[in-house]
């Protein structure tokens, strides 16, 4: 539990720091004065001023911020954010999202160079050395032989025992071929769950396609040459981005058409629980989890909603199109504040939902 807490704080810290560092660096390069660079939200635990910027660590590790001169009010100063041209403002805001995508890409590149299973891509589509392949149950069909035997999603099938013979499996195709050739027979299945080796007797059905009644995936650990790893990682990052985009689209469709949030959506507690699962699976699983979260954070932040980076860009573009008198900065700040309050409210609701779901 202590290790999970430490890794959870590190994961949140890395995601937030990288995102805000993007804003920070581009603001500095654009000549904007950065007054504060903060991790977490108040109350304040530690702060130190170096140069013109105060660096702060706050108690609540659920976010962070960069405070720039003239960000919340119109200050007539050449180093004020409010006096910068539109393209500089957009660049400063987009930098956080870009850094999260870069983080995901770098982590996946490291993973593939060392040896890692792809998150989205088929193992067969990646040209590299296959270090290990395991068969993981992705889904157990209702009332199937597998469900009756107690097999669950996430179990790793190691092999079978039949007629005194121990048969070790390496790939999903071997699982399919074996079960089809032993339809209607009683066999013993060996599998791993949470690091423990278990076995169960299974009476295979006469189903022509899935006698065991499971959908499985090949969890192949693949290592590619270090100079090709960034290319493979870029393709994987793009696929994760596309899948996440589709998921967010479905999420909002559900909210606006059914008035409910998908059961797959989680808050801080869900992230904590999944962090614990990743820790149990090892360093590579943690890298994948952070990469996945980083892409999610990038996409969520770019949504055109108040308080998010996308919402700020929307107001900048509207002001550019409709003129500087489109909306007073004070009113815009109020809208972002209300949006932030709604986001905190959503986070609280998701936390309550996570408590019911996991505990």
Closest by CA to 65, choosing from 51, 73, 55, 79, is 55
Exposure on the CB side of residue 293, measured as CA atoms within 13 A: 25
Q: SS3 helix, strand, coil % of the chain, rounded to 5?
A: 50, 25, 25
SS3 category, 260: coil
In this structure, the number of other CB atoms found within 10 A of the CB of residue 93 comes to 22
List the catalytic residue out of 20, 71, 236, 332: 20
Q: Do the beta carbons of residue 34 and residue 28 sit within 8 Å?
A: yes
Cis? peptide before 175, omega within 30° of 0: no
SS3 assignment, position 43: strand
Q: Is 20 a catalytic residue?
A: yes
Q: Which two tokens stand for residue 41?
A: 């939200």
Tell me the C-alpha distance between 195 and 59, whole Å. Answer: 35
Rg (CA), the chain: 25
- Coil, helix or strand at residue 170: coil
Longest dimension (CA), the chain: 85
**Which residue numbers are catalytic?**
20
């Amino acid at each position: 539990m202590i290790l999970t807490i430490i890794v959870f704080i590190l994961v949140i810290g890395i995601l937030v720091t990288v995102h805000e560092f993007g804003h920070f660096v581009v603001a500095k390069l654009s000549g904007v004065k950065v007054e504060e660079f903060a991790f977490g939200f108040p109350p304040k635990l530690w702060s130190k001023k170096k140069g013109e910027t105060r660096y702060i660590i706050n108690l609540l590790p659920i976010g962070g911020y960069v405070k720039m001169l003239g960000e919340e009010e119109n200050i007539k100063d050449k180093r004020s954010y409010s006096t910068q041209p539109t393209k500089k403002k957009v660049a400063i805001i987009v930098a956080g999202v870009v850094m999260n995508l870069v983080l995901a890409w770098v982590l996946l590149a490291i993973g593939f160079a060392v040896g890692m299973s792809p998150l989205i891509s088929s193992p067969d589509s990646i040209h590299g050395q296959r270090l290990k392949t395991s068969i993981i149950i992705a889904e157990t069909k209702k009332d199937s032989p597998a469900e009756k035997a107690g097999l669950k999603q996430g179990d790793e099938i190691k092999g079978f025992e039949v007629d005194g013979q121990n048969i070790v499996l390496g790939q999903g195709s071997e699982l399919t071929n074996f079960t089809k050739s032993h339809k209607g027979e009683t066999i013993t299945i060996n599998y791993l769950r949470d690091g423990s080796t278990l076995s169960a007797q299974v009476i295979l059905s006469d189903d022509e396609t899935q006698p065991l009644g499971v959908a499985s995936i090949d969890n192949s650990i693949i290592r590619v040459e270090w100079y090709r790893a960034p290319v493979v990682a870029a393709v994987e990052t793009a696929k994760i981005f596309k899948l996440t985009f589709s998921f967010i689209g479905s999420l909002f469709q559900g909210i606006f058409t059914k008035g409910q949030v998908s059961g797959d959506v989680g808050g801080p507690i869900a992230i904590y629980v999944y962090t614990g699962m990743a820790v149990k699976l090892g360093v590579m699983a943690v890298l994948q989890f952070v990469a996945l979260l980083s892409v999610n954070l990038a996409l969520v932040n770019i949504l055109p909603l108040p308080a998010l980076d996308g919402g700020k860009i929307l107001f900048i573009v509207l002001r550019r199109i409709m003129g500087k008198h489109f909306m007073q900065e004070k009113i815009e700040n109020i809208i972002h504040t209300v949006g932030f309050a709604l986001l905190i409210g959503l986070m609280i609701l998701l936390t309550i939902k996570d408590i019911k779901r996991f505990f």
